[in-house]
Amino acid sequence: MDTLQAKRPSFTPEEAHNIVSQLYGLSGKLKSLPSERDQNFLFTTSTGEQFTLKFSNSAERRETLDLQHSAMHHIANHDATLRCPQPHLTQTGETITPVPSEAEAAVSAP
């Protein structure tokens, strides 16, 4: 299925917070961010750290997400002056985790 035709993830902020708590052991506040085919939140921890929480479209290929992560690592390793988000590991050491949703299966990759 084409990523532009697949149903976009539609987690409520409460559901997204529960997922962050379960996967990353973090608590904080979520603010919805615009997105074309994914669902994104700005997550601010109770200590003030900020992360982008991304629920990828269920039709997005794993290889595409891995490529995005590789690009972020490459930028960070080659030019520390550029601000670029970095993938964070879940409590089980993963950067991409399948998450069930009404839009088939979404993937969390903060």
- CATH number, domain with residue 94: 3.30.200.20
Q: What distance in Å separates the CA atoms of residue 60 and residue 55, rounded to the nearest whole number?
A: 10
Instruction: Give 81's DSSP letter.
Output: T
Residue 46 falls inside a structural domain? yes
Residue 20 falls inside a structural domain? yes
- Per DSSP, the three-state class of 101 is coil
Please list the alpha-helical segments (H only) found in 1-110. 13-24, 62-78
Residue 42 falls inside a structural domain? yes
Residue 2 falls inside a structural domain? no
Residue 47 falls inside a structural domain? yes
Residue 96 falls inside a structural domain? yes
Joined together, the tokens standing for residue 33 give 């961010």
Residue 21 falls inside a structural domain? yes
Handedness of CA 35, 29, 15, 26 (dihedral sign): positive
- For residue 47, give its domain range: 13-108
In one-letter notation, the amino acid at residue 35 is S
Domain count, the chain: 1
Q: What is the pLDDT of residue 61?
A: 85
Which pTM value belongs to this model? 0.79
pLDDT tens digits, one per residue of 56-90: 888 888 888 888 888 988 998 999 898 888 888 89
Residue 1 falls inside a structural domain? no
What dihedral do alpha carbons 39, 10, 108, 99 form, nearest 10°?
A: -170
Q: How many CA atoms lie within 13 A of 13 on its CB side?
A: 11
